[in-house]
Structure 1
Amino acid sequence: MSTPDTRSLLVSLQLSDSAFPSGFYTMSHGLEGYSQARLVRQGGVEGLLRGLLLHSVGPGDATALARAHEAAAVGDWRRVRLVDQLLHASKLNAEMRRASVRSGHQLTDIAREAIGGPALEEWARSVKAKETPGCQPVATAVAYAAAGVGTVQAVASDMSAFAVSFLGAALRLRLSDHRHVQVVLHALGPVIAAAAADAVARDLEDMGGSVPLADVMSAQHERAEARLFAS
């Protein structure tokens, strides 16, 4: 028989699995824009991902996840919606906002069916009523809270899922191979751990990344004539 800690670990593995149909497979997280502009090659994927984890995902999405998780765990839905609205407003590019909302809605629907519970029902009601956008990190926070996964584990798991998704896009864009992806993922483990710890400690008022070039690449990607990824 599994213990509560084991069950929460299994849920975090399920939600962060690349096979979980949250929509991450449709995103390159800006990598396709860099590739189209010929600003990244195989040797530069690790550095780009490191920068995004430290200066975009950690201060932005991961911080929102941490604060929303804490609020959802105690049933403070006003606070959960506030975090979601602030995160949505902090995303400068339309395609990034759309991708996050689309993925968040997909994750909410699947988590309601797979995990269930009153927390996910209340969150789904708020999203359906358009009281809040429903961004992916906040939807993930609610799902983790509903399953009893702790804040630190939730943040680290979602940042790992981002890294795996980014590297999966690198594979499809032929910027890496399967062996190199595993080397990079292992090398960035300490970066994910550090960025996750910073996100858990960061106040909501300090949420928000600073990645000007990534924003420019996303803006260009929105208008690209041909695109493999939604972001």
Structure 2
Amino acid sequence: MILREKLLRTFQHADSQFPSGAFAFSQGLEAFSQQQERLGSFDLWNFLYAQIVHRWASSERIAIIRAYRLYNDLEALAELDAEVEASTISEPLRVGSRRNGMGLLTTHERIGTRYAKTYRGMVRDGKAHGHVAVAQGLLWNSLEIDEEDAVLMSGYQSAASLTTAAIRLGLVGAIDAQSYLTRIIPVIAKASDSPVSRNEPLRAFIPLSEIAISLHGTTGQRLFSN
């Protein structure tokens, strides 16, 4: 029964319906798809692959794993949070990550997840930034979700949020979006196997995506915040 409850809890927090606020962000997908005359032709698969391999696998995944290994040491988590802040070059991406993290912390505070209220208070007091990967590592660890499962949850959510954004933007239909997810799942699984050292650096840089994000405010009416 305990194992079944743990599995169901993992499903609950991996579900896209769980209120985290991530639906408001497209990681530059919207701007890139609208700026093809400046940036070149847009290809959803290449965009999705780059986001998983060159951002999630080398930055967000690392932050979650390192957060797990800190065993809910909130001061150390705040230091990791500051590292995420410093390593995220794009301001819209920094703002989006903090907003997603704060949304996740707020939801977990309301449902009574351990440490959510305390760490949210640290963010509000300026003692932490509240980046989403750090918040995920703290909260999912508090829920006794296994580290390996948490990494897979994060990778899947990253991919699913992008394909959902593509559907909302009218770039693909729901069936095609599932085809992209089917193709990216082995990429996520392979990246998840890569070892992470104790102080593994965070690194993420996708030039065209970040240029697109910087142009996002010039595209007129928009659906996503970045």
TM-score when scaled to structure 1?
0.90
What are the within-5 Å matches in structure 2 for residues 218-229 of structure 1? Answer: 218-229=213-224
Q: Identity of paired residues, percent? A: 25
Residues 146, 113 of structure 1: alpha-carbon distance in 2 compared, 3 angstrom cutoff: same
Paired residues of 2:55 and 2:205 also in contact (CA < 8 A): yes
1:86 counterpart = 2:83: yes
Structure 1: segments with no counterpart, 5+ residues:
none
Match of 1:173 among 135, 152, 169: 169
Q: Which residue in 1 is equivalent to 2:56? A: 57
Query: Could you say which residue in structure 1 is the equivalent of 2:67?
Result: 68
- Is the 8 Å Cα contact of residues 32 and 212 (structure 2) preserved in structure 1? yes
Is 1:112 matched with 2:122? no
Instruction: Provide the C-alpha distance between the structure 2 equivalents of 1:51 and 1:66, rounded to a whole number of angstroms.
Output: 20
Of 150, 157, 179, the match for 2:146: 150
Q: Are the counterparts in 2 of residues 68 and 83 from structure 1 also a CA contact under 8 Å?
A: yes
CA distance in 1, matches of 2:174, 2:55: 25
Distance 1:94 1:227, change over 3 A: same
Alignment counterpart, residue 16 of structure 2, candidates 3, 15, 18: 18
Deviations 1:20-72 (A, max 9, x none): 1211111111101111112455xx2122101110011111111111111221x
2:119 to 116, 123, 140: 123
Secondary structure at the aligned position of 2:220 is classed as coil
Asked if 1 retains the 8 angstrom alpha-carbon contact of 2:27 and 2:209, the reply is no
Name the CA distance, whole Å, in 2 between partners of 1:181 and 1:116: 32
- For residues 78 and 185 of structure 1, the distance between their equivalents in structure 2, rounded to whole angstroms, comes to 36
Q: Distance in 2 between matches of 1:138 and 1:181?
A: 28
CA root-mean-square deviation: 1.7
Question: Which ranges in structure 2 are unaligned for 5 or more consecutive residues?
Answer: none
1:135 maps to: 131
The residue matched to 1:201 in structure 2 has which SS? Answer: coil
* Alpha-carbon distance in 2 for matches of 1:221, 1:196: 31
| 2:213 counterpart letter in structure 1 | S
Please give the alpha-carbon distance, in whole angstroms, between the structure 1 residues aligned to 2:168 and 2:52. 20
Runs of 4+ in 1 over 3 A off after TM superposition: 202-205
Gap change, CA 1:75 and 1:141, over 3 Å in 2: closer
Cα pair 1:84 1:135 within 8 Å, conserved: yes
1:164 shift after superposition: 0.6
Residue aligned with 1:229, SS: coil
TM-score normalised over the length of structure 2? 0.91
Q: CA deviation at 1:103?
A: 1.0
- For 1:217, the equivalent position in structure 2 comes to 212
How far apart are the structure 2 equivalents of 1:121 and 1:138? 15
Q: Distance in 2 between matches of 1:176 and 1:203?
A: 40
Q: Alpha carbons of 1:137 and 1:40: their partners in 2 closer, same or farther (altered >3 Å)? A: farther
Contact 1:115–1:147, Cα closer than 8 Å, also in 2: no
Q: Take 1:187 and 1:37, find their aligned partners in 2: how far apart are those partners?
A: 26
Query: What secondary structure does 2:171 align onto?
Result: coil
Q: C-alpha separation between the residues in 2 aligned to 1:80 and 1:156? A: 21
1:192 is matched with which residue? Answer: 188
